[in-house]
Structure 1
């Protein structure tokens, strides 16, 4: 018998019929009462100390009992909804103004109320990729100290305590599980920051300094990962290039566990730092198409085809000396970079150059993550936040003209004058004639162009620049390095914007 029945009823012998009838009547009465309410639960991305995206609708979502009423209150707004038959619910907060004043977001239902404290409103970005994006602030504190004026970026952990910068580190094993503590966001300081992406943090720091609004950044990265695991498997199946093919590399593996559960958390855009694994596979045009598929897949997941996507061109490294599944040459890295640049034809994308950010100490993991983050922020400031005074790109090749024995290189519209960064003759230019054989060339700046020539080439037809895995050219503009290029790019390589 149930423990809540009186002993006089539950312990009577088999000959007593009246108590049995009464017991049946009690069970019948209880069966007509409403079922117990299920407690409201939230995804891990919604929690204390989070930053909500300003100036656009903000989804708040979770689970409850089917049909259960849910009320969400924040910043003077009150939104109500009802959980559907599967127990899922979602409301949209109307666009919010930026605020660095900690506020409380309340989600309530019949069974419980969740109060999320210390919530700010500002800019939110999602950073992803492989080991160079995962590269932590703990590692950043151990690199060789650069000789820079003022606060040294290697010592950032000693200074970082800005409550307007918030971080969320994705745990692959737990992201999709509800969490009753709601404490997965942190202020960017102390132990939480030590384990966080250095590139993503320095991006957030620069963005906050320039915009003066709270910044939240989410890091979801896996060392050694290829691009395929970050793409929804269904996106490959729908893609006209990959549809019907068997795609290796575990498509969807990290997308399903580390990207999709974050949606539809409101974001301003994405940051991407990956490609090293793809370079070991000597990928070229297929990598461009995979980037197209990844970008469209993520934008589709967030139902916004215009979300910005800024990414990092790979730094110099001796790939040709590494063991790999396929033969690698000194041109493997430049060709992969060319494939990365080709993805710039996709609207609302941007790429930073890193040819000057390599050291023997860092190897494939250069330690200049403070500059990586800053340059990514420059892309966002110029192209997303429309700050026209910001120089976000170095010189980018446009076209070539031949004048006698000189090949004249023209660049896309420059935001700053061309310079030799070290005041030495320009380096890593090569020129070829009709035979297609490239020779080292002399190059000099002439206004907005660069003149290139070689005594070994009487009739130049093409020029290439920085076309070697270890090249660290000195052609700059506005403090940013020129993008490596070859003017004789094959027809199957999509041109960059």
Structure 2
């Protein structure tokens, strides 16, 4: 007898619904399930497939389920009955709690929510057909240790729902970093949208996929072999505890290679710094916070490698082995590997040594020397990014598992081509709802956070946010605005608590029937000319509009007939905003928070929820 891996110990079943349990047995074999003091019987068909629908069950647990067929018995233990939510998208949905500890460590310290569970879908793809079964995975509970592996946004969402309604919450994490929205849409829908036929056919060629992956692996191995064989720092041991750096050059850390002699270096650059520690900092637990490094690093203390990271996004937080630090002089050496980007120690990140309950700032002057110069590494092909692949392998196999709704956090990988995203999103929602076949279940999504320097000339993220805002036209949807929780220097902002809470507000409104709840910040509704200005009306004004922090309303621009947008004056008037400009007597359109990082935007409702960016133009 074969069961899907999601039908396993610790699972959460959807409450108050006729939940399906399915599997494979021998042809025409009798199958029996015992669950919650009830028995259910059926027979497998000629192919061995069977399905039983359980009666509606009130929330609670833990329960056991016994499944019998042909003398074989499977027992599934520690089952809860509550609400099940699918977590879809890319890396900001995938981002685990352990990656948010700089900000949220106290929030998850000693956490014990055994009624919050997560099933993580293994990353896989298939370009031939929707798949029926999962390649693996298992359920974990939000208890010390395992909670660090939860989706951070998902955990804080589930915590809100669990504490509000006192029911178990099951999360199915099916997110893959870097995936564009097209990867999560069915082939039939993608073909109807058009423009993807060539790549679809190419990915159906198993020989092409296998050969490309093999070539990528061989090329990457060869690149690192050349680098390591020519790296003078590895040959001579520049990581050793003692090394004469008198002829090395100075580098102000943090900082970028850009604008200096290192800008075009692809290969390795070594950095060293000597520090003096009091004995009190050599006792107890110790950790090195090395900010974020572009692209990869190997980091040593006193000649011992304490950690390495192979790509640019994860924060470097390396535990230091007990006894490695010593009173007096200690040496930190960092080998930075630039594979294809301009190297950097990213600014405004923590660069500190934490030891013995004390901290030492590591920013400032370091010594550096180039270890090896190579050609840039050719980028590999990520097949999980291709259209339909993860839909077939990571959405389709879930279609028999009853859910309450879906949460979606994606869009970063579509910011280079924002036009048309709203149509793709509409297609995705329709696909997923068709897949589960349970009607217009709640679909709650996250609008992209702020990112990048405060520069109004970069607007592709603003354009994508506007496309996301159009998603609210789809029935049964809600959007969590997050333009105030991003970090200008990090694609993966750590404040997933706020994200989870705002997603939960949408769920409370759509899925739990809190009709009077203010679940959203102000959303642009319509505009009308008002003398020489424009009056903007909003939905979701709550108890009233406010300029967060007091003072003037910021973040608005206006254009006249020439279509050139310029900063405008804006003032709250009741539940509307009046936008004017001294030199524009015929205003045509208004934009709000129209930048990749609209840090100055400050329109909120009194419930503390930010207004969505918008453009009144089509």
- Whether TM-score is above 0.5 comes out as yes
Residue 356 of structure 1: SS of its match in structure 2?
A: coil
> What is the deviation of 1:350?
1.3
CA distance in 1, matches of 2:184, 2:196: 19
**Number of residue equivalences:** 426
Q: Which residue of 2 aligns with 1:75?
A: 36
Counterpart of 2:71 (choices 100, 111, 114) is: 111
Q: Which residue of 1 aligns with 2:180?
A: 226
Structure with more strand by fraction: 2
The TM-score with structure 1 as length reference comes to 0.81
Task: State yes or no: 1:242 paired with 2:377.
Answer: no
CA contact (8 A) 1:320 1:332 kept: no
CA distance in 2, matches of 1:344, 1:306: 13
Task: State yes or no: 1:160 paired with 2:143.
Answer: no
Task: State yes or no: 1:278 paired with 2:238.
Answer: no
Q: Which residue of 1 aligns with 2:469?
A: 341
Q: Show CA shifts across 1:283-336 (max 9, x none).
A: 212x11211221121112111231211111111123999xxxxxx961211111
Counterpart of 2:86 (choices 126, 144, 162) is: 126
Q: Show CA shifts across 1:361-401 (max 9, x none).
A: 5x211111111111111000011111124221111111112
Task: State yes or no: 1:62 paired with 2:23.
Answer: yes
Residue 2 of structure 2: SS of its match in structure 1?
A: coil
Counterpart of 2:395 (choices 242, 259, 263) is: 259
CA contact (8 A) 2:488 2:597 kept: no
Q: Show CA shifts across 1:145-188 (max 9, x none).
A: 3xxxxxxx432332321111111111125994577xxx811211
Q: Which residue of 1 aligns with 2:148?
A: 194
What are the within-5 Å matches in structure 2 for residues 339-488 of structure 1?
A: 339-361=467-489, 363-472=490-599, 473-477=601-605, 478-487=607-616
Q: Show CA shifts across 1:97-116 (max 9, x none).
A: 111x3111111112211111
Uncovered stretches (5+) of structure 1, i.e. residues with no partner: 1-39, 146-152, 322-327, 491-497
Residue 452 of structure 1: SS of its match in structure 2?
A: strand
> What is the deviation of 1:225?
1.0
CA distance in 1, matches of 2:182, 2:534: 40
Residue 62 of structure 1: SS of its match in structure 2?
A: strand
> What is the deviation of 1:413?
4.8
CA contact (8 A) 2:452 2:488 kept: no
CA contact (8 A) 1:320 1:329 kept: no
Q: Which is bigger in relative contact order (C-alpha 8 A, separation at least 6)?
A: 2
CA distance in 2, matches of 1:244, 1:196: 34
CA distance in 1, matches of 2:124, 2:595: 40
> What is the deviation of 1:214?
0.8
CA distance in 2, matches of 1:305, 1:195: 31
> What is the deviation of 1:121?
0.8
Q: Which residue of 2 aligns with 1:184?
A: 138
Larger mean Cα displacement after TM superposition, 296-305 or 268-277: 296-305
Residue 145 of structure 2: SS of its match in structure 1?
A: helix
Larger mean Cα displacement after TM superposition, 225-234 or 45-54: 225-234
Q: Which residue of 2 aligns with 1:17?
A: none
CA distance in 1, matches of 2:135, 2:473: 39
Q: Which residue of 1 aligns with 2:50?
A: 89
Task: State yes or no: 1:48 paired with 2:9.
Answer: yes
RMSD over aligned CA atoms reads 2.2
Q: Which residue of 2 aligns with 1:29?
A: none
> What is the deviation of 1:84?
1.3
Q: Show CA shifts across 1:407-457 (max 9, x none).
A: 111112532210111112111111222222222111111111111111121
CA distance in 2, matches of 1:112, 1:185: 23
Uncovered stretches (5+) of structure 2, i.e. residues with no partner: 126-131, 201-384
Residue 372 of structure 1: SS of its match in structure 2?
A: helix
Larger mean Cα displacement after TM superposition, 414-423 or 328-337: 328-337
Q: Which residue of 2 aligns with 1:495?
A: none
Counterpart of 1:204 (choices 154, 158, 162) is: 158
Distance 1:177 1:55, change over 3 A: closer
Q: Show CA shifts across 1:40-89 (max 9, x none).
A: 22101111111110121100011111111111121233221111122111
Task: State yes or no: 1:304 paired with 2:264.
Answer: no
CA distance in 2, matches of 1:92, 1:276: 39
CA distance in 2, matches of 1:355, 1:178: 36
Residue 220 of structure 1: SS of its match in structure 2?
A: strand
Structure label with greater radius of gyration: 1
CA distance in 2, matches of 1:421, 1:212: 33
CA distance in 2, matches of 1:247, 1:307: 31
> What is the deviation of 1:461?
2.4
CA distance in 1, matches of 2:63, 2:52: 18
CA distance in 1, matches of 2:535, 2:573: 9
Larger mean Cα displacement after TM superposition, 434-443 or 127-136: 434-443
CA distance in 2, matches of 1:422, 1:341: 25
